[in-house]
Structures are given as structure tokens and as C-alpha cells.
């Protein structure tokens, strides 16, 4: 559509116009709601909060909003691929590239990651008896960095310059020679800023878990979700740092004239190595927390101790370790040679062993237990067979000779959606249903929850099971159409129907949220008859928790205390706890990085410098308003 | 520092060490990048560019600044505020001299036409050594803040904590410089 404004005529695609109209109307409605209900103080409260539950809630909320956006992208992709030679709306050629790029990037970085980090933020401190994360200020900063990176990335589409380089941003296509203009810069800076935020939050979680466990809560007594959070966080530290360096180098290539990834001296394969040294551990960063969630849920609803606790912990660590030795299995067709390919094929197959151990331990945990089929438990039960199917295709893909056939077909697409949706997305939903009382004080409606589960699970298998066949028939990924004679008409149609079924499932979930908050009732501290410490604090969890501090003598101590009819032992000993004080500085710091990114993207150097000055000024202010100053210097011997 | 503060300081210390580990991963990746691209098959050879004199001078100032900071630290622990201030001032001066030499070195290369885009070797050199120089600059500003904090009404135990954290940072930046000597300069000077 051609729009003219002040004499300037510009072609604007109709999907961008539709998005503007939708966003403006939605934004206006939300604004009216906020003003009418006088919610501004609430917004200010959340803008300045450093409390782990509130930060976690914001992580989940905004992660879910971006999840919805990337989900709409997925539906657009499936609509275009519904029938052969299709011309759906504008989703062809470059637009199609943009849609699959934003779908992948948002789903990984701005939906799955924040929702998992949000659940960790909410649950980990409560599970281990910490009064907050070790650095509340840094926690808020980590969240706002994610937020500004994600908003920066999402703005690109509204300015009709969405990146189209794939979520992997392969060089040399992502260098300025082939994708000039701001589009790819939105990818570079959006992911960079939120990635730094993710590293901060991971560091915070590690220190919290190592330093702030309740007395007697040994590492060997810790719930498995907290274990998963610990191992995931250590993976994040290395993976996201390497990604950060890769993006840093790409930024220099795009903006300042170096040529690391292109030209006669540069090496595009270096980008692939750096990206996948991040990218493969990232898969486990997404999966391990989900494993932790399922472990906790399965023990709770089987009313049994986890089967093989040490094996569960060791296999988590082993998966994390092996996760760093398999990255080149994404690059079998690059031509690294048979020795390298064999090595990476073998390490990839080896990952099936610890994963298999976990699957059997979950099954043995349920064996002989008193099962109750609540919504979180259903998600956990749906996860096990679905994830095994993804694992099987994973072993198929690890055979490097066969991989030459599967590479870049829909078979690969089917495989990674099977593993990521069944672990991460089902895990996130399970976690949301499970911890919803702890986050809001309400219990989500079980009937609608079960409907959500079944629609989503059926839709998910309908979408991706036929896609294996589509891929085997040779349909390449990232191509916007196919011909009638390719023999993939029926399977593509079924996939599209399945995708819309998943969309309906999400609508059911939204309806559940609305219904719960309008007609639902508040629940007590322990609605699920839980086993771990988070169920000892009130729902929703207050800002002051664990006073007096419980003393832990075994794993699942709360459960055994309930069984013996005696309350948990507590101590009134003074325990050094994190100092959480509200502050607007984290949000401002993240915003200043947003300004820097805008400045560099459009080479408005004055803006970039202004943003940088703002950023460092805030850091300097921060050193003078340190919340520790109020607590320090009041001790027995002040020196 | 009382026991409550000591516990909180241990939190901060652990977190900062993890942060330094992240920084180490970052520099390691950039060292690998430099190693891959140097020497480049086009453009100047590193041995034509690097000068022993510059490397010795910059290294002398930066590495001895670790020693002067150590002196300041010991003085702080012994509650000799004069010694601490002198030690920190000398460290700060050495940092400035180092930065001056580094800027001069970069300026000379660029004025010979060997900027960021002259070859992949130079690109890899600047993104690595330049990032290190940015760390030194950050540390220099941090030292100014420490002087102001010292004069402010901040509790002494909090100042002690901030000083300690800075010293970990500064020793780490020096530690990276040692690797820069070994990996970036040394192979092309001998």
C-alpha cells in the first residue's frame, strides 16, 4: 500500500499497517484501562521493583506477549504453506524470510528464555529458602535488559525493516554487503542487549543457589528444579558470552569496516562455529529447566520421592557438559572432514544416554505412586513420549552420512520443534499452572487447563508429525512455497490445521486467565499438597519470606514434616540476606542501552554517544546510592 | 567489617569472580579470533608493525600498577590511609600513562594507513587490544570514584568492600595484558 505524508510517498506493506492499527488500538485500550482503574501506582511499583517474584512475573508476562507475537508469525508461515503455489497475503519471498526470522529469534530469545528465567526467579529462591536473589538490583537490571533488547528487536517490524537473515544470522549473508540497511542491526543489538541481561540473571541465580540456601539445605537435598537452574545458569555464562563476542565481531563487520566473516580474508565458517558453540548449549539451556520442572511436578503428583535422585543430578550435569561438545553437528554439510564429523556424531549420540536415564527415572518415580492427573501433571505426562520422539529423530540426524539427506529439510524443522516444544513449551505451561498460586494467589481453572493441554498436545503432534514426511519427501525449509507435483500437499495441509489448533489452545489459556481473575478464588499456601519449601510460604509469596528460617534435615523436608504431623524446625538466628530496595535505575540503564543501539543502527553517532553517557552516568549515580550503605557500618566493630 | 557484612561481602566476591570468569571467556574467544586471522595474507605483517620499545613501556606501566595497587591494599588493611591514597594515586597515574602510550600506538598505526579495515589481522588486533584498553579506561574512572567515595560519608566497611572489588578487577585486567603480550605481541617480536 502506498502511503503519502507531507508530500513523501512511501510503499508500506499492508501487514505492517495492520500491525500498527492493531497495536495502537490495543495500546489505547490498555491505557484507558490503566487510567480508569487507577493502576498507575501499580505500574510504577513494577517499574522500580527488585523483588524476585515481581521480576519473575514480569519476565513471564512479557515473555508470553512475545510468545504470542512469534506464534502469530508461525500461523502466517503455516497459512502461506497450507496449499501449493499459495499467495497468502504478502507472505512471499523477502516477507517470508522476515517472518521465519522473527518467529525463530523471538521464540528462542524473547519468549522461551524469559519465561524460563521468570519461573526460576519465582521458584528457585522459595525452593531453597532464600529471601530473595543474591543481587536484587542486578536481577531487575537483567530483566530490563531483556525487555529493552526484545522491544528493540520487535520495533524493526513496525518500521518495515524486520531482519531476514534467519535466527542463526549466518554470515556472509548477515554482513553489510548482502543485507545493508538497519534490518540486521536490529537482530544484532536486540539479541546482544538481552543476552547480556541473561548472563547477569544467570550469575545471580548461581550466587543465590551457592550462598543463600536455608540451613541444612545441602546441595544434595536441593529440589531438582533448583539443580536444573544451577546447571543451566553455568551453561548460560559460557554460551551467551560466546554469542556476545560473535555479535560484537559482526557489529564491527557491519558498522566499522572489518571483514572477519566475509571477503577474501574473512571466514564465514567462523561465524557458524561461534554461533553453534552458543547455539547448541542453548538447546540444553532451554531443555534442562523444563526437566527440572517436570521432575518436581512428577514427584508432587505421584506422592513419591524422585527415583534415583543422584542419577538425576549427574545426568543433568552430564547433558550440560556434553552439550558443549556437539556444536558441529549443525555443520555436517559444511565440509569439516570425516574425522570431525565422526567425532561430533559420536558425542551427539552419547547425549541420548543421560537423557534416557532421566526418562526412565521419571517413569520409575510414577511406578507405584498415587498419581493425580492435574493440569501440570498432564503436561508432564504429555512431555515424556513427545520428547522421546524428538530424541529419536535427533539420533537419526546425528548420523552424519544420513544428515546430508536430512539437512535443511522440514525433517529438521520437525525434529527441533519436537524437542523444544515438548520440553520447553510444555514445561513452561506446566510450570505456570503449577506455580500460578505462588505468583498470583489464584489457582488456574483445572477444566480449562485440561482443555488447553489436550488441544495443544493434539495440535502440536498434528503440526509436526506429518512434517517428518514432508521433509523426507525433500521439502526444503525456509522456502515459501511448493508445487503440486512435489507430493507434500496433504502433509502440509495437516500441519497447518494443527498449527491453528495450537493457536486455539492458547486462546483457551487466555480465557482461563481472564476467568481465573474474575471469578476465581484465592488459595492457601499449599494447594497442590507440595513437597518443597515454596509451599510453606503464603500465596502469593510475600516480600518478606522465611522469617523464621526453616531448618532442613532431608530432601522434601516439608512433605515429611506434613506426614509426621510436626511442623518444620525453624531458627531465629540472624541470617545475612539480600537487601532489596526499589529503584528506577535498572529500567533507565536498560533504556540508555536501547538508545545506544538505535544510534549505532542508524549511524546517528550523537545519539549513540548520548546514550552511552547516560549509561555510564547512571552507573556512577548507582555507586553513590548503594543500598548496602544503610546496612553497613552498624556492626559490633565498625572498621 | 562485622560478620553480617562479611557474609554479604562473600556474596559480592563470589558474584564478581563469576563475572571475571565470564570476561575471561570473552577475551579467550577474542584471542582465538586473533590467532585465526594473524598474520593475514594481505596488508602489513605484524612484525613490521609492532615495536619492542612500545610493548616494554606499556607493559612496564600496566604491570607495575598491579604492584602499586597491592601496596595500597596492604596499607588499607593496616588502616594507613595515607599509604592507601598514595598507592591508589600512583596506580591511577600509571593507568593514564599506559592509556597515553596505547593511544599513541594506535594513532601511529592509523596514521600509517593501518586502521580497523586495513586487514583482518588489524581488525582482530583492534577489537581485542581496544577492548582491553576500554577496560583500563573503565578502571581509571573507577579509581576516581574510589577517591570520591573515600572522601564521602560512606561507611568504612563499605569502602573497604568497594576497594577490594576494584582490586580484583584491576589485577584481572593486568592478567589479560600478560596474555596479550604472549599471544598478540611476542610471537612477532622475536
| A636 and B CB contact within 8 Å | yes
Q: What is the pLDDT of residue A264?
A: 86
List chain B residues with CB under 8 Å of A256. 116-117
Cell of A326: 556437539
For B160, nearest residue in chain A (alpha carbons): A639
A504 lies in a domain?
A: no
d(CA A35, CA A33): 6
Q: Closest CB to A633: pick one of B36, B115, B157.
A: B157
Q: Which of B157, B159, B161, B165 to mutate to test the interface with A (most CBs of A within 10 A)?
A: B157
CB contact under 8 A, A270 and B2: no
User: Quick one: which of A383, A190, A395 has its CA closest to A287?
Assistant: A383
Looking at residue A635, its pLDDT comes to 54
Does the distance separating the beta carbons of A203 and B22 come in below 8 Å? yes
> Is residue A293 within 8 Å of residue A431, measured between CB atoms?
yes
Residues in Cβ contact with A301 at an 8 Å cutoff, skipping those fewer than 6 apart: A371, A372, A373, A374, A376, A377, A380, A528
List, in order, residues 6 or more apart from A40 with CB less than 8 Å away.
A34
Residues 6+ apart with CB under 8 A from A206: A230, A233, A234, A237, B18
Decide if A292 is inside a domain: no
Q: Is residue A211 assigned to a domain?
A: no
Is A206 close to B156, i.e. CB distance below 8 A?
A: no
Whether A9 maps to a domain, the answer reads yes
Rounded Cα distance, A262 and A386, in Å: 40
Whole-prediction pTM: 0.95
Sign, CA dihedral B163-B166-B171-B177, equals negative
Please report whether residue B107 resides in a domain.
yes
Residue pair A426/A509 in contact (Cβ under 8 Å)? The answer is: no
| Per-residue pLDDT tens digits for B27-69 | 999 999 999 998 888 888 999 899 999 999 999 999 999 999 9
- For the segment B121-138, the average pLDDT, to the nearest whole number, is 95
Q: Which structural domain range is residue A34 located in?
A: 1-38
- b/e sequence A452-467, b meaning 16+ C-beta within 10 Å: bbebbbebbbbbbbbb
Q: And the C-alpha cell for A22?
A: 492493531
Q: Are A78 and A496 in contact (CB under 8 A)?
A: yes
Nearest CA in chain B to A241: B26
Query: Which of A176, A234, A575, A576 to mutate to probe the B interface, most B CBs <10 Å?
Result: A576
SS3 content of chain B, % helix, strand, coil (to 5): 85, 0, 15
Segments in B78-179 forming alpha helices (H): 81-111, 120-151, 156-179
Of B15, B40, B161, the CB nearest to A203: B15
pLDDT tens by residue, A331-381: 999 989 999 999 999 999 999 999 999 999 999 999 999 999 999 999 999
**Grid cell digits, residue A221:** 537435598
Closest residue in B to A243 (Cα–Cα): B26
A 272-331 residues with CB below 8 A of B? 274
Nearest to A260 among B115, B120, B149 (CB): B120
Judge: B117–A259 Cβ closer than 8 Å, yes or no. Answer: yes
CB contact under 8 A, A264 and B42: yes
Residue A137: in which H helix or E strand, if any?
helix A136-158
Closest CA to A595 of A196, A224, A148: A148
CATH code, domain carrying B151? 1.20.120.80
The residue of chain B nearest to residue A234, with distances taken between CA atoms, is: B18
Query: Quick one: which of A391, A392, A388 has its CA closest to A362?
Result: A388
CB distance B42–A638 less than 8 Å? no
- State the Cα–Cα distance between residues A433 and A425, nearest whole angstrom: 12
Domain assignment of residue B87, given as a range: 54-188
Alpha-carbon span A619 to A461, nearest angstrom: 49
Q: Specify the DSSP class assigned to residue A536.
A: G
DSSP A166: T
Between chains, do A211 and B14 touch, taking CB under 8 Å as contact?
Answer: yes
Cell of A173: 549473508
Q: Is residue A300 part of a domain?
A: no
Candidates A138, A206, A207, partner chain B, best to mutate (most B CBs within 10 A): A207
Are B11 and A135 an interchain contact pair (Cβ–Cβ within 8 Å)? yes
Which residue, A324, A366, A362, A282, is CA-closest to A112? A282
> What is the structure's pLDDT at A637?
47
**What is the rounded CA–CA span in Å between residue A465 and residue A468?**
6
Tally Cβ neighbours within 10 Å of residue A428: 25
Cell of A266: 574473512
Secondary structure class of A514 (helix, strand, coil): helix
> Total structural domains in chain A?
1
Per the domain annotation, does B17 fall within a domain?
no
Decide if A631 and B8 are in contact by the 8 Å CB cutoff: yes
For residues A338 and A403, give the distance between their C-alpha atoms in angstroms, rounded to a whole number: 13
| A192 alpha-carbon distance from chain centroid | 15
The chain B residue lying nearest A133, using CA atoms, is B11
User: Closest approach of chain A CAs to the CA of B167, in angstroms?
Assistant: 16
- Examine residue A10 and state whether it is found in any structural domain, yes or no: yes
Count: domains in chain B: 1
Question: Which of A203, A210, A252 shows the shortest C-beta gap to B123?
Answer: A252
Nearest Cα of chain A lies from the Cα of B79 at a distance, in angstroms, of 9
pLDDT of residue A406: 93
Q: What is the ipTM of this complex?
A: 0.96
What's the pLDDT score for residue A638? Answer: 43
Among A252, A244, A308, smallest CA distance to A277 is for A244
Low-confidence ranges of chain A (pLDDT < 70): 6-7, 634-639
Amino acid at each position: 500500500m502506498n502511503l503519502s505524508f507531507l508530500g513523501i510517498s512511501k510503499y508500506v506493506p499492508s501487514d505492517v499497517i495492520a500491525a500498527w492499527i492493531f497495536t495502537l488500538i490495543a495500546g489505547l485500550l490498555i491505557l484507558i484501562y490503566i487510567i480508569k482503574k487507577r493502576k498507575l501506582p501499580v505500574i510504577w511499583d513494577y517499574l522500580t521493583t527488585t523483588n524476585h517474584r515481581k521480576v519473575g512475573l514480569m519476565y513471564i508476562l512479557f515473555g508470553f506477549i512475545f510468545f504470542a507475537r512469534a506464534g502469530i508469525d508461525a500461523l502466517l508461515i503455516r497459512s502461506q504453506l497450507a496449499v501449493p503455489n499459495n499467495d497468502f497475503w504478502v507472505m512471499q519471498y523477502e516477507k517470508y524470510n522476515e517472518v521465519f526470522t522473527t518467529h525463530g529469534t523471538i521464540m528462542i530469545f524473547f519468549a522461551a528464555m524469559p519465561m524460563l528465567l521468570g519461573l526460576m526467579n519465582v521458584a528457585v529462591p522459595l525452593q531453597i529458602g532464600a529471601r530473595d536473589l543474591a543481587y536484587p538490583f542486578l536481577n531487575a537490571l537483567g530483566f530490563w535488559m531483556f525487555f529493552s533488547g526484545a522491544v528493540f528487536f520487535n520495533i524493526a517490524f513496525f518500521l518495515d525493516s524486520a531482519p531476514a537473515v534467519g535466527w542463526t544470522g549466518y554470515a556472509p549473508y548477515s554482513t553489510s554487503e548482502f543485507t545493508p540497511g538497519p534490518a540486521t542491526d536490529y537482530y544484532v543489538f536486540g539479541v546482544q542487549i538481552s543476552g547480556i541481561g541473561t548472563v547477569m540473571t544467570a550469575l545471580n541465580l548461581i550466587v543465590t543457589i551457592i550462598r543463600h540456601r536455608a540451613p541444612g539445605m545441602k546441595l544434595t537435598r536441593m529440589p531438582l528444579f533448583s539443580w536444573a537452574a544451577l546447571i543451566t545458569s553455568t551453561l548460560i555464562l559460557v554460551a551467551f558470552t560466546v554469542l556476545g563476542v560473535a555479535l560484537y565481531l559482526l557489529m564491527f563487520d557491519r558498522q566499522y569496516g572489518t571483514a572477519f566473516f566475509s571477503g577474501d580474508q574473512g571466514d564465514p565458517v567462523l561465524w557458524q562455529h561461534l554461533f553453534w558453540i552458543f547455539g547448541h548449549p542453548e538447546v540444553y539451556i532451554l531443555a534442562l529447566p523444563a526437566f527440572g520442572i517436570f521432575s518436581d511436578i512428577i514427584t508432587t503428583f505421584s506422592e513419591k520421592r524422585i527415583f534415583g535422585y543422584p542419577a538425576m543430578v549427574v545426568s543433568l550435569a552430564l547433558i550440560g557438559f556434553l552439550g558443549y561438545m556437539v556444536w558441529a553437528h549443525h555443520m555436517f554439510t559444511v565440509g569439516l572432514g570425516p574425522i570431525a564429523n565422526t567425532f561430533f556424531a559420536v558425542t551427539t549420540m552419547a547425549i541420548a544416554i543421560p537423557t534416557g536415564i532421566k526418562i526412565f527415572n521419571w517413569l520409575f518415580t510414577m511406578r507405584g505412586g498415587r498419581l493425580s492427573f492435574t493440569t501440570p501433571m498432564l503436561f508432564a505426562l504429555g512431555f515424556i513420549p513427545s520428547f522421546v520422539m524428538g530424541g529419536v529423530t535427533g539420533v537419526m540426524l546425528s548420523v552424519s552420512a544420513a544428515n546430508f539427506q536430512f539437512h535443511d529439510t522440514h525433517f529438521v524443522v520437525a525434529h527441533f520443534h519436537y524437542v523444544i516444544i515438548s520440553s520447553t513449551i510444555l514445561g513452561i505451561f506446566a510450570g505456570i499452572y503449577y506455580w500460578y498460586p505462588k505468583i498470583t494467589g489464584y489457582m488456574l481453572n483445572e477444566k480449562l487447563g485440561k482443555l488447553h493441554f489436550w488441544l495443544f498436545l493434539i495440535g502440536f503432534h498434528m503440526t509436526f508429525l506429518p512434517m517428518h514426511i514432508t521433509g523426507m519427501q525433500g521439502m526444503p525449509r525456509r522456502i515459501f512455497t511448493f508445487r503440486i507435483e512435489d507430493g507434500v500437499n496433504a502433509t502440509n495441509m495437516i500441519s497447518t490445521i494443527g498449527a491453528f489448533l495450537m493457536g486455539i489452545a492458547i486462546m483457551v489459556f487466555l480465557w482461563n486467565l481472564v476467568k481465573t481473575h474474575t471469578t476465581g478464588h484465592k488459595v492457601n499456601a499449599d494447594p497442590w499438597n507440595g513437597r518443597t519449601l515454596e509451599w510453606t510460604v503464603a500465596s502469593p509469596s510475600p516480600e518478606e519470606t522465611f522469617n523464621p528460617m526453616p531448618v532442613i534435615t532431608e530432601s522434601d523436608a516439608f512433605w515429611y514434616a506434613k506426614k509426621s504431623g510436626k511442623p518444620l524446625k525453624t531458627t531465629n538466628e540472624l541470617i545475612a540476606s539480600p537487601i532489596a530496595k526499589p529503584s528506577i535505575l535498572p529500567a533507565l540503564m536498560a533504556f540508555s542501552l536501547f538508545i545506544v543501539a538505535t544510534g549505532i543502527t542508524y549511524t546517528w553517532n550523537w545519539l549513540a554517544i548520548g546514550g552511552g553517557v547516560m549509561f555510564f552516568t547512571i552507573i556512577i549515580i548507582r555507586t553513590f546510592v548503594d543500598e548496602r550503605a544503610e546496612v553497613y557500618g552498624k556492626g559490633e566493630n565498625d572498621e | 567489617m562485622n560478620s553480617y557484612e562479611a557474609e554479604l561481602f562473600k556474596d559480592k566476591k563470589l558474584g564478581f569472580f563469576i563475572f571475571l570468569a565470564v570476561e575471561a571467556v570473552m577475551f579467550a574467544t577474542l584471542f582465538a579470533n586473533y590467532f585465526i586471522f594473524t598474520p593475514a595474507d594481505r596488508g602489513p605483517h605484524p612484525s613490521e608493525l609492532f615495536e619492542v620499545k612500545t610493548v616494554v613501556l606499556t607493559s612496564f606501566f600496566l604491570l607495575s600498577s598491579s604492584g602499586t595497587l597491592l601496596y595500597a591494599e596492604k596499607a588499607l588493611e593496616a588502616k594507613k590511609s595515607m599509604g592507601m591514597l598514595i598507592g591508589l594515586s600512583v596506580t591511577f597515574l600509571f593507568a593514564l600513562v599506559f592509556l597515553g602510550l596505547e593511544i599513541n600506538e594506535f594513532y601511529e598505526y592509523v596514521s600509517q594507513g593501518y586502521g580497523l579495515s586495513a586487514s583482518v589481522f588489524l581488525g582482530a588486533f583492534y577489537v581485542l587490544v581496544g577492548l582491553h584498553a576500554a577496560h583500563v579506561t573503565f578502571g581509571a574512572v573507577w579509581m576516581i570514584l574510589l577517591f570520591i567515595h573515600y572522601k564521602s560519608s560512606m561507611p568504612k566497611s563499605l569502602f573497604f568492600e568497594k576497594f577490594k572489588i576494584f582490586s580484583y578487577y584491576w589485577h584481572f585486567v593486568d592478567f589479560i595484558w600478560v596474555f596479550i603480550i604472549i599471544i598478540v605481541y611476542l610471537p612477532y617480536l622475536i
